[in-house]
Chain A
């Protein structure tokens, strides 16, 4: 469960993607998305997320690799197969929605139904618009629709083709926060009915965690880690992934020993010995990077003595407090060599406990959260 298994690239159902190229955009991406699964491609801007998506849609032709859907090759560089977008059954929602400005909402949806008769198209398009809660707005032109409504039309249009793969390119980036939250719910509802694989491109980890079954971290065109969102977010494979999933507390320690019976690996850091999940693949006495998500760091204020049962207690001094709305970002210096742990504390908690810079505190680093990282 902890070892990431590389998915076999020969699925009969669902989407498999393997792309390689050095220039102009470096690509080294591998992913599998099963029917009904939502896979979120996450990475910073310029990481190649959209290029991967466009390669699946047939809007971009990479140098080498393969894209198959339900066992059929859409792209196979070795066999010189590259189907045009029209011949790949994809439904795509563009970042800017790319609605046809001269067609009504209904017209936009019907435009993607070239494979049906006129009467079928009309009925089905109305159904789809109803499904995305746009009944009554069928005859509006895109310019007369709000951002959220436009996004819904784009989703309905993407589904209109009865696609074998649904592709969503940052579909929530152009709407306000409130609308976005509403659209999350709608998409989550909608996806219960969707039988096809869905690729969601986003730069927002939270969004990916909310909507996706699988998270795939992409960096400079390379897929670094794929797994369940919680796993990837708390147990990144490498230092690079840890940084990409926004873990700040990354340090260097030493592997002190493994206890197979207890399922524990002992880690030495700043004169402390921590217990963490068993990772026998790390050799004894080796230097190792490790991380802990802020959510696994607990703070014991100075006026309340730490409970004796605390795991991995560490003493430190608060060096900085930065108020960020409802929370405070607290930085605690550990030992004397400049290492510091960062964690968020709720504002009222910080106030109640009289936290302030210079205060001595004890931290608990929960063993569950301590995670050893491989080198990049």
Chain B
């Protein structure tokens, strides 16, 4: 068992959902309740990572964040290390590829809150902020949690983008999924097997949890 890789994966997952939580709430809420020109386009773009081969995303990230790109140079100047093949770059890639996994369940959850319930919150004198904390988030919570669970699990399993953008640097970008690949190449079937079994168990738990949350959401309504 490559504990360093597991720890790295968990850290990556935690950072990813820590960033996606506010981002997903803001975008999901916005998409759920506003209609505007080009909404379909925005939704399609956000869903793109679902169908886009990870290597395509990996390629564009490599090109746009690489040492020769403006973003890469700026980051290198600011922090002293490059963006690709670094943990930071991995977090950025992971956030991007998980956007649909986070936003879509959250959007559905906010859409399920009836308009008059939101209006009732306003008519009860709640400020928008208070209405969000007291009414919207509690009602959307199961959906938000589902989104986070899915994103976290998906981050743990992501391979293509991580390999392309992160390389396989132990402790920096070598996640557990990469470690499994690495261990197989090194003829270390035992370690690969243990880690695979761990991921399998984790995925089962995740799916089970997200089903429980979904059913729970149905009970509340």
Restricting to B113-131, which residues have a CB under 8 Å from any CB of A? 114, 116-117, 119-128, 130
Instruction: List B contacts of A89 (CB < 8 A).
Output: 125
Asked if B71 lies at the interface with its beta carbon under 8 angstroms from chain A, I say: no
- Select B116's contact among A96, A102, A112, beta carbons within 8 Å: A96
Instruction: List A contacts of B221 (CB < 8 A).
Output: 101
Give the shortest distance, in Å, between B193 (CB) and chain A (any CB).
45
Give the shortest distance, in Å, between B213 (CB) and chain A (any CB).
15
> Known: A100-B135, A102-B138, A102-B139. Is A115-B125 also a contact (CB below 8 A)?
yes
Are A59 and B114 in contact, CB atoms less than 8 angstroms apart? no
A98–B123 Cα distance when bound, in Å, is 11
A57–B120 Cα distance when bound, in Å, is 10
- Select B126's contact among A58, A86, A101, beta carbons within 8 Å: A86
Give the shortest distance, in Å, between B208 (CB) and chain A (any CB).
24
Are B125 and A161 in contact, CB atoms less than 8 angstroms apart? yes
Instruction: List A contacts of B125 (CB < 8 A).
Output: 86, 89, 112, 114-115, 161
Are B119 and A59 in contact, CB atoms less than 8 angstroms apart? yes
Asked if A92 lies at the interface with its beta carbon under 8 angstroms from chain B, I say: yes
> Known: A101-B139, A101-B221. Is A94-B116 also a contact (CB below 8 A)?
yes
Asked if B68 lies at the interface with its beta carbon under 8 angstroms from chain A, I say: no
Asked if A145 lies at the interface with its beta carbon under 8 angstroms from chain B, I say: no
| Secondary structure of the A contact surface, majority rule | loop
Asked if A26 lies at the interface with its beta carbon under 8 angstroms from chain B, I say: no
A84–B116 Cα distance when bound, in Å, is 15
Asked if B52 lies at the interface with its beta carbon under 8 angstroms from chain A, I say: no
Asked if A157 lies at the interface with its beta carbon under 8 angstroms from chain B, I say: yes
The count of chain B contact residues (Cβ–Cβ below 8 Å) is 20
> Known: A94-B116, A114-B130. Is A101-B123 also a contact (CB below 8 A)?
no
Asked if A111 lies at the interface with its beta carbon under 8 angstroms from chain B, I say: yes
Instruction: List A contacts of B190 (CB < 8 A).
Output: none
Instruction: List B contacts of A316 (CB < 8 A).
Output: none
Asked if B81 lies at the interface with its beta carbon under 8 angstroms from chain A, I say: no
Give the shortest distance, in Å, between A115 (CB) and chain B (any CB).
7
> Known: A101-B221, A102-B220. Is A94-B127 also a contact (CB below 8 A)?
no
Asked if A90 lies at the interface with its beta carbon under 8 angstroms from chain B, I say: yes
Asked if A62 lies at the interface with its beta carbon under 8 angstroms from chain B, I say: no
Chain A CB count within 10 A is highest, among B114, B116, B134, for: B116
Instruction: List A contacts of B120 (CB < 8 A).
Output: 92, 94, 98-100, 157
Are B126 and A96 in contact, CB atoms less than 8 angstroms apart? no
Restricting to A78-135, which residues have a CB under 8 Å from any CB of B? 84-86, 89-92, 94-96, 98-102, 111-112, 114-115
> Known: A102-B138, A102-B220, A111-B134. Is A94-B124 also a contact (CB below 8 A)?
no
> Known: A98-B117, A102-B138. Is A92-B126 also a contact (CB below 8 A)?
no
Q: How large is the interface on A (under 10, 10 to 19, 20 to 34, 35 or more residues)?
A: 20 to 34
A101–B117 Cα distance when bound, in Å, is 9
- Select A101's contact among B122, B124, B220, beta carbons within 8 Å: B220
- Select B122's contact among A86, A99, A115, beta carbons within 8 Å: A86
Restricting to B121-166, which residues have a CB under 8 Å from any CB of A? 121-128, 130, 134-135, 138-139
Are B123 and A85 in contact, CB atoms less than 8 angstroms apart? yes
Give the shortest distance, in Å, between B136 (CB) and chain A (any CB).
10
Give the shortest distance, in Å, between A117 (CB) and chain B (any CB).
15
Restricting to A43-98, which residues have a CB under 8 Å from any CB of B? 57-59, 84-86, 89-92, 94-96, 98
A114–B134 Cα distance when bound, in Å, is 12
Restricting to A283-327, which residues have a CB under 8 Å from any CB of B? none
Give the shortest distance, in Å, between A140 (CB) and chain B (any CB).
15
Are B139 and A96 in contact, CB atoms less than 8 angstroms apart? no
Give the shortest distance, in Å, between B141 (CB) and chain A (any CB).
9
A135–B126 Cα distance when bound, in Å, is 25
Are B123 and A57 in contact, CB atoms less than 8 angstroms apart? yes
Are B123 and A90 in contact, CB atoms less than 8 angstroms apart? yes
A85–B118 Cα distance when bound, in Å, is 11
Chain A CB count within 10 A is highest, among B119, B130, B220, B221, for: B119
A111–B74 Cα distance when bound, in Å, is 49
Are B119 and A112 in contact, CB atoms less than 8 angstroms apart? no
- Select A114's contact among B117, B126, B135, beta carbons within 8 Å: B126
Are B119 and A85 in contact, CB atoms less than 8 angstroms apart? yes
Are B124 and A157 in contact, CB atoms less than 8 angstroms apart? yes
Instruction: List B contacts of A96 (CB < 8 A).
Output: 114, 116
> Known: A98-B116, A114-B130. Is A92-B138 also a contact (CB below 8 A)?
no
Residue of B nearest to A57 (CB): B123
A71–B130 Cα distance when bound, in Å, is 29
Instruction: List A contacts of B139 (CB < 8 A).
Output: 100-102
Give the shortest distance, in Å, between A152 (CB) and chain B (any CB).
15
Residue of B nearest to A157 (CB): B124
A319–B69 Cα distance when bound, in Å, is 91
A18–B120 Cα distance when bound, in Å, is 24
Are B116 and A91 in contact, CB atoms less than 8 angstroms apart? no
Give the shortest distance, in Å, between B112 (CB) and chain A (any CB).
11
Q: A86-B126, A100-B117 are in contact. List 11 more A-B contacts (CB 8 A).
A: A59-B119, A85-B122, A92-B123, A94-B116, A98-B116, A101-B139, A101-B220, A102-B220, A111-B135, A112-B125, A161-B123
- The 10 A-B pairs at the shortest CB distance, nearest first, are namely A112-B124, A98-B116, A85-B122, A98-B120, A92-B123, A94-B116, A98-B117, A102-B138, A114-B125, A59-B119
9 contacts between A and B (CB under 8 A): A59-B119, A85-B122, A89-B125, A92-B123, A98-B116, A100-B139, A102-B220, A111-B121, A114-B125
